[in-house]
Chain A
Amino acid sequence: EAGVAQSPRYKIIEKRQSVAFWCNPISGHATLYWYQQILGQGPKLLIQFQNNGVVDDSQLPKDRFSAERLKGVDSTLKIQPAKLEDSAVYLCASSSTSPSGGPMGTQYFGPGTRLTVL
């Protein structure tokens, strides 16, 4: 079974530039998550999708961050314009559970995209 795929693995940009990250979850996983992990901290949830609908985006800085999940499969996360404090690893995860109930499911993480903003 293929894991969660993310690209690019590394990205260096200047502040005020735009950047986009791509995620392909495990086949059949309905729930997709984007996390931000700043150096020395644990991952912080930015946005959670159930199929192509947003379940939770309460911690997404919506003035500069946007995310979409077309057709309930792949997802893209965009930052426009980037700030120095956006330097972090952006992790995508997927799980097979639904928010409506059932047993707590395991989230499977991709390798992440390391973003450096200069």
Chain B
Amino acid sequence: DQQVKQNSPSLSVQEGRISILNCDYTNSMFDYFLWYKKYPAEGPTFLISISSIKDKNEDGRFTVFLNKSAKHLSLHIVPSQPGDSAVYFCAAVNAGGTSYGKLTFGQGTILTVHP
């Protein structure tokens, strides 16, 4: 029962270009979405989030788009930098539910940015 799916295991882009990471979810009760970045031998670190009442949230080079009707969100990184190379996890939560704060993660996408 994979409620959050990241169908691309890996993505390779050139430095300076746009990176687009995708995420799909099936549970319509999810109303808050987050992206985490993970370097090897470190724990995931919070990157950006979006509430279901919005369709876009921007923070510097990172923008998250939410399409509720399609149950799809994406993370755009512009411009991509070699330091962005990491595993990116999409996560979703039912913020108003009884399991407040329980994150459901996707499988992750390995992003490699080539100089």
Contacts and interface: CB of A to CB of B under 8 A. Distances in A.
Contacts, number: 67
A11 B91 CA distance: 28
Interface in A34-74: 40-45, 48, 55-56, 58
A109 B102 CA distance: 14
Contact of B43 (A4, A31, A55, A101): A4
Contacts of A91: 43-44
Contact of A104 (B43, B93, B108): B93
Given A43-B44, A112-B43, A104 B102 contact: no
Given A43-B89, A104-B49, A48 B102 contact: yes
A107 B101 contact: yes
A40 B100 CA distance: 26
Interface residues of B, number: 26
A91 B91 CA distance: 15
A43 B107 CA distance: 8
Given A109-B43, A112-B42, 11 more contacts: A33-B101, A42-B106, A43-B89, A44-B105, A48-B102, A55-B100, A56-B99, A91-B44, A105-B101, A106-B46, A108-B46
Closest 9 CB pairs of A and B: A42-B105, A109-B43, A99-B100, A106-B46, A109-B44, A104-B95, A56-B99, A104-B32, A43-B105
17 contacts: A42-B6, A42-B89, A43-B44, A43-B105, A45-B103, A48-B101, A91-B44, A95-B101, A97-B100, A99-B100, A100-B100, A104-B49, A104-B95, A104-B101, A109-B44, A111-B42, A112-B43
